[in-house]
Amino acid sequence: MSIAELTSIDFITPDGVPESVTSWVTEIAALTMPDHIVWCDGSQAEVDAFTHMMVASGTLTRLNAEYRPYSFLARSDPKDVARVESRTFICSEDPDDAGPTNNWCDPAEMRSTLDPLFLGSMRGRTMYVVPFSMGPLGSPLSRLGVQVTDSPYVACSMGIMTRMGSQALSLIGEDTKWVRAIHSVGAPLQAGQADVPWPSNDTKYISHFPETREIWSFGSAYGGNAILAKKAFALRIASVMAREEGWLAEHMLIIKITNPRGRVFHVAAAFPSACGKTNLAMLQSTIPGWTVETIGDDIAWMGRGTDGRLRAINPEAGFFGVAPGTGWKSNPTAMNTIWGNTIFTNVALRDDGDIWWEGMSDAVPRHLIDWEGKDWTPESGRPAAHPNSRFTVAAKQCPSISDDWEDPKGVVIDAIIFGGRRATNVPLVVEARDWEHGVYMGATISSERTAAAEGTVGELRRDPFAMMPFVGYNMADHWAHWLKIGAGLRTSGSVPRIFQVNWFRKGSDGSFLWPGFGENSRVLEWILERVDGQVAAKDSPIGLLPLEGALNVDGLDVSEDDLAELFAIDKDQWRGEADSTEEFFATFGERVPAAVHKQLALLREKLG
């Protein structure tokens, strides 16, 4: 498809498109008034046309092919650089269904607000119709959607992040349930008006309508605000679908681990931001005989298979990773994934035409063009790359990608891990006694604030199941749904074991007690040896801990004192944490499941 063809297609619908899709696209076009409509087919020719067009318009800069073949740099508007949680709404019919952790708005009121904003919002632009599948094409665990957008950057990103195009569209029949996603940058063009490289609008709304499975996004072209298959569909809307249909849509990575005896395990793990999630998803084991492979780095959809076991897919087809902090020391697998065919957003540009960001390498370039297009040197006193700068790349490029990552049946989950960033209190690893205790662990995930600018140092920032910004309904109902899923799994006799980890505990001198990164494979070893019935554990007030000598620390520079501190339990501090947890639960009122309250009471009883 050529650039000329892209701008000459006017309201021509491909053959065989179901009426439910064509009538909806026609309805949205009548509202937004685009000059042209393009139905995306997902072909490489289409991608080439999109990228050429965006290079010509200044939206993308082509990187030096010698260093980064077929890769591009985008610079956003400086006011459009991250998810805007304050402008993200759950528009459920009943405000209690949204709960206290979401911004709620009455659906009718939100529609009356959005309709005038979207009226004519695509005038002078092209509407791209993006059909997509979340998950492998045809998998019983996958779900379908169609996004319309007036941003070629978003259309191109959707092609990386989902199974997008004609094949996905062909799976939508007249009776198929599919998610409707409407996106506009909110910057209509008048006749003869010059465009800008990154159009956006100061007014922003990312609104979700759970009952009708719709997403309406206005004003932003960035990340999860605009690539609506990601957090908006894959978590907020999908979590509601999952509750209705009896499965789970979770903010979790998925990895495959093989032990020296040849047994294969699959692990799902939930971590809030800044807790090493991507590093774990692409872990390089330091233990001989143990291998770790990647299935997903961000989202897991999990449901009971025909064999009664919990199975999971990664619904995404790409990685939308945070660039700063990703480097050859912290995550060499990620670095080897982004060798080419990658879109970078808001990173710095080197003089040789390659990219750079803080943490990418020990050596810092003497001169860069920063994420705002300004000259930068180490003396500039500001980051060269935006702290939320990103790379968008196909998952199939990852050298550690597992051969079963697109298994349509999903992979059997043997263990579930929750983690947070805790300088104190929480041990390196602890096992839940049962599923109900594991749900309590997930409900109480938190990280300690580390700087006064973020709040009181040591204050807990709650992030249940790492889903605080992403669950599409009442958080307490989410815990109840997990309990229901566990009860169903028990009937088949196969329930994954649940664990909590904390790589970030510090000693009295403020230094980390655990080396982290690849050495986290030692903690995974203990977890999976527990699953395999190879090692015992000892009880404690907060769960099951490794016996002395059970955790493999051979060759590590971790003293006996540090090891003891990694598992120390201060009962007074835990009593205080129990009080804080009770206050947190109170914000959800009577919707907190009795089983979760029971686990809190049991913790207090064991603390004495």
Distance CA 447, CA 444 (A): 10
Measured on CA atoms in the order 310, 315, 321, 322, is the torsion positive or negative?
negative
Active site residue 275: yes
If you write DSSP's letter for every residue of 31-63 in order, what string do you get?
A: HH--SEEEE----HHHHHHHHHHHHHHTSEEE-
Distance CA 87, CA 96 (A): 19
What does each C-alpha distance from 433 to 235, 292, 342, 445 come to in angstroms? Answer: 28, 26, 43, 17
Ramachandran angles phi, psi of 526, nearest 5°? -65, -45
Give me the sheet containing 390-394, strands edge to edge: 60-62, 72-74, 343-345, 390-394, 318-322
**Helices 435-443 and 594-607, packing angle to 10 deg:** 90
**If DSSP codes are grouped into helix, strand and coil, which group holds residue 69?**
coil
Q: Are 233 and 145 in contact (CB under 8 A)?
A: yes
Pairing state between β 348-350 and 368-369: antiparallel
Measured on CA atoms in the order 553, 558, 561, 566, is the torsion positive or negative?
negative
175 C-beta neighbours (distance < 10 Å), count: 7
What does each C-alpha distance from 489 to 303, 418, 441 come to in angstroms? Answer: 10, 19, 18
**If DSSP codes are grouped into helix, strand and coil, which group holds residue 401?**
strand
Q: Are 172 and 18 in contact (CB under 8 A)?
A: yes
What does each C-alpha distance from 122 to 76, 112, 468, 551 come to in angstroms? Answer: 19, 18, 33, 59
Distance CA 102, CA 91 (A): 10
Distance CA 373, CA 38 (A): 31
**Helices 475-492 and 238-245, packing angle to 10 deg:** 40
Ramachandran angles phi, psi of 145, nearest 5°? -155, 165
Ramachandran angles phi, psi of 54, nearest 5°? -75, -30
212 C-beta neighbours (distance < 10 Å), count: 12
359 C-beta neighbours (distance < 10 Å), count: 17
If you write DSSP's letter for every residue of 425-492 in order, what string do you get?
A: SS-SEEE-SSHHHHHHHHHT-EEE--SGGGSSTT-EEE-GGG-TTT-SS-HHHHHHHHHHHHHHHHHH
Any idea what DSSP says for residue 512?
B
Of 40, 91, 156, 275, which residue is the catalytic one?
275
Catalytic residue positions, numbered:
275
